[in-house]
Structure 1
């Protein structure tokens, strides 16, 4: 019984070896999707730059007027968000 199972396994793996390794092919409309991703990445980077600039201006205003200092959290949040947003592609390439 064990020999029969081993023999069946060997025949199955031999059949899989004959199938081959298929080459990857881009799906239809993949260029449009990649263009949309590039636009989205550009928008995220622009949003991060605007957020850091706004938080820096607010930080200066709070320092000058002596108000509550909430802008350092905004600067840190914008920087962490930018790191996460821009590293998403790198993480996915490492996973694949």
Structure 2
């Protein structure tokens, strides 16, 4: 009787082990969400390019007029922001995965 109970328990756990390993599946609206993420990525890259161009023009203006140099900080900030923004997916995969 004890042996039959133990075998029933093992069979139950074996069944749970087979059920508990589902394969991942994307949600139904994930394609629209990923399209939105691609739009945001494009916008962030465009904003970074515009920021670097603006900072470069400001740097030339500051050099030409002899004013204080604040634009190298802007260029560095735009570049660091661009690196973080474009590697966000890789960073999240490293943290979560």
TM-score bracket for the superposition, by shorter chain length: 0.7 to 0.9
Match of 1:29 in 2: 29
Equivalence for 1:59: 59
Gaps of 5+ in 2: 1-5
Q: CA RMSD in A?
A: 1.9
TM-score by length of 1: 0.81
Moved over 6 A (4+): none
**Residue of structure 1 in register with 2:81 after alignment:** 81
Q: Which whole-Å deviations, capped at 9, do the CAs of 1:41-69 have from their partners, x for residues lacking one?
A: 00000000000000000000000000111
TM-score normalized by structure 2? 0.80
Q: Are 2:19 and 1:19 equivalent residues in the alignment? A: yes
1:46 correspondence with 2:46: yes
